[in-house]
Each structure stands twice: as C-alpha cells, then as structure tokens.
C-alpha cells in the first residue's frame, strides 16, 4: 500500500483520498455502524416498563442515552442517580405514588428500578403536558413546575423551533440532545 501511494501524483493522491473519505462516510451511515453509536441497552426492561406505562420505548432509551450514556452508576453534580438520572426526592415521590416503600440510594441506582422510575415519570409528564414530547423532554430536565411557568408566561411556546427561548442553557442542550437521539433511535429501531 505504501509503494502504491508513493507512486501516485498529487491529483491522483487527492482523488484516492477523496474516494477513501467517501467510502468511510458511506460506512458510517450504515445501520450496523449507527447502531453502535446508538445502542439499545436494557431493551427488555425498557420495553417492559414502557408498555406498562404507555410510553414510547425509543423515547425512554433516548432520554437514558442523553442522561447517563447507559452508565448505571452515574451520579450527576446535582445528585441525580442512575441510568435515567432520577433525583432522589423524585424517586421517593414516585415510590409513594406506586405504593412502594421508601427507596435506598442503592435501590434507585439499580437498573431495573431506575428504568421503572424514569419511565413512570415520563408517562406522568406525558399526561401532564398532553403528550407534547418536546415539553416533556424539557420538563424531565428542568422540572414540570419550571416548564409550566415558562409556558404560562409565554417565555417558551413549547415548540422545538422556539427552543432558543428556553431560559436554561442546560435544558436547551438537553432538548436538542434527546431529540437528536430520539430521531436516530426511531430510524434505527422502529
């Protein structure tokens, strides 16, 4: 290969490099390659609880990828825990709503419990915000009270096109990240 490249003249070398880049680009767009970038870890658990709570499992996996990149031991600087980055207070509130005993930190970090809690919370937000997925994604990050206030005072319309009006940079970035992942997951796994 090295001798072949040495014998090429500049125009031929440029053409060879361009073809190599095009080939690489084509390979990177194949579903097989994209599934490596957008894996569907914990699929059985996600689909179990997504079906149970009436949530699109691909939304759940997109939130999970954005929140923790599938790290079950993830802990945010704010204290959110696990795969779906559930705040301990929110986990306890959900547990009470589901008739569960108070949860210990290790239980919240358990992948099955974390997926159950996060998926239930997505279902709750979907109901609260009438299925408006972009609003739900923002509320998952900023909290439903905060997002309700933005909608009420018309700070944000709730539309993705107006995401630049979301006051929290972290929430704007989270919305973009989840929407991108959700779109990819729909193309790859629907």
Active site residues: 67
| 42-80-174 Cα angle (round to 5) | 75
Q: Which two tokens stand for residue 23?
A: 């080939």
Alpha carbon of residue 57 to chain centroid: 11
Tell me the C-alpha distance between 84 and 60, whole Å.
Answer: 8
| 59-61-62 Cα angle (round to 5) | 60
What would the DSSP string read from start to end of 96-160? HHTTPPPPPHHHHHSHHHHHHHHHHHHHHHHHHTTT-HHHHHHHHHH-HHHHHHHHHTTS--S-G
Tell me the C-alpha distance between 16 and 70, whole Å.
Answer: 39
Tell me the C-alpha distance between 49 and 117, whole Å.
Answer: 9
- Tokens 């994209």 sit on residue: 34
């Amino acid at each position: 290969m090295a001798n072949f490249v040495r014998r090429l003249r500049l125009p031929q070398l440029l053409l060879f490099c361009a073809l190599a880049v095009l080939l690489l680009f084509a390979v990177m767009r194949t579903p097989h390659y994209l599934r490596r970038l957008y894996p569907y870890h914990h699929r059985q658990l996600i689909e179990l609880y997504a079906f149970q709570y009436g949530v699109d499992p691909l939304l759940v996996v997109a939130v999970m990828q954005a929140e923790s990149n599938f790290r079950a031991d993830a802990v945010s600087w704010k204290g959110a825990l696990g795969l779906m980055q559930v705040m301990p207070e929110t986990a306890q509130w959900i547990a009470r709503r589901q008739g569960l005993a108070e949860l210990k930190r290790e239980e919240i970090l358990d992948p099955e419990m974390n997926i159950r809690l996060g998926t239930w919370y997505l279902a709750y937000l979907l109901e609260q915000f009438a299925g408006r997925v972009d609003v739900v994604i923002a509320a998952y990050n900023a909290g439903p009270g905060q997002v309700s206030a933005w909608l009420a005072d018309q700070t944000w319309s709730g539309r993705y096109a107006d995401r630049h009006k979301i006051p929290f940079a972290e929430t704007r970035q989270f919305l973009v990240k989840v929407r991108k992942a959700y779109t990819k997951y729909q193309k790859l796994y629907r």
